[in-house]
Amino acid sequence: MDSEPVWARVREDFTIESGGRWHEGAAEEMMGMSSVEWSRYMRDSLQVPMEPEEISAAVVDRIDQRYRERVPLLPGAEEAVRATAERWPLGVASSANRPLIDLVLELTGLTPLFRATVSSEEVPRGKPAPDVYLEAARQLELDPPRCAAVEDSANGIRSAAAAGLRVVAIPRPEFPPPEDALRKADGVLGSLNELVGALEALA
């Protein structure tokens, strides 16, 4: 999904409307954080005058409304998911809240294609810690080195690499990962159209 622009806009608008102080770089700093982590960040660093639980619930409600209007799938995403699901068991290891993961899979009709779904709010630490990927591999009943992660963010790449997975990076131009993160990837692709071939090469 092309979800980062949606999250960035909603968090910025909510921060300003609530009397907090948004700053350049805040969106990037929150990338990969679990809901517990980013809602605390918004309270403590962005000075949103609410408790983290209230912040998280309000932001998620706004994201929910945006997704019901339009799910921001990346070009070729549905085709890539269906093609990979024919070859390998799939899991989701996401920083998004559980209700949003379930909503997107329902709205896109992709729920049956994923054998495991994990939100970082369900593990002790969000990305770049390895927790969410380790739990996804556990649910798939696979050793992490037998798994491959498809990532677009610096913290996502670092998380998957720390968990011992092979990593395929497909960077987003709006939030390009730094070189030190990309060096942790086993392959860097230009688009999702190249994904199946890259995974076959890794396999």
- Residue where a domain stops, chosen among 69, 99, 120: 69
Residues 60 and 103 in one domain: no
Q: pLDDT at position 34, please? A: 84
Over 90: is that where the pLDDT of 31 sits?
Answer: no
Residues 43 and 96 in one domain: no
Q: pLDDT at position 91, please? A: 98
Residues 6+ apart with CB under 8 A from 140: 89, 91, 115, 116, 147
Sign of the dihedral through C-alpha 57, 62, 64, 65: positive
Q: pLDDT at position 186, please? A: 97
Over 90: is that where the pLDDT of 176 sits?
Answer: no
Q: pLDDT at position 146, please? A: 97
Per the structure, the count of domains in the chain is: 2
pTM (2 decimals)? 0.89
- Residue where a domain stops, chosen among 15, 34, 69: 69
**CA count, 13 A, side-chain hemisphere, 61:** 7
Residues 164 and 96 in one domain: yes
The string of pLDDT tens digits covering residues 108-153 is: 999 999 999 999 999 999 999 999 999 999 999 999 999 999 999 9
Over 90: is that where the pLDDT of 17 sits?
Answer: yes
Are residues 27 and 11 in contact, defined by beta-carbon separation less than 8 angstroms? yes
What DSSP line would sit under 156-188, residue for residue?
Answer: HHHHHHHHT-EEEE---TTSPPPHHHHTT-SEE
Q: How far apart are CA 119 and CA 133, in angstroms?
A: 10
The string of pLDDT tens digits covering residues 180-189 is: 999 999 999 9
Residue 30 belongs to domain spanning: 4-69
Q: What is the CATH number of the domain that holds 25?
A: 1.10.150
Residues 175 and 136 in one domain: yes
Q: pLDDT at position 33, please? A: 87
Are residues 132 and 149 in contact, defined by beta-carbon separation less than 8 angstroms? no
The string of pLDDT tens digits covering residues 60-117 is: 999 999 999 999 999 999 999 999 999 999 999 999 999 999 999 999 999 999 999 9
Are residues 129 and 110 in contact, defined by beta-carbon separation less than 8 angstroms? no
Q: What is the CATH number of the domain that holds 105?
A: 3.40.50.1000
Average pLDDT over residues 164-173: 94
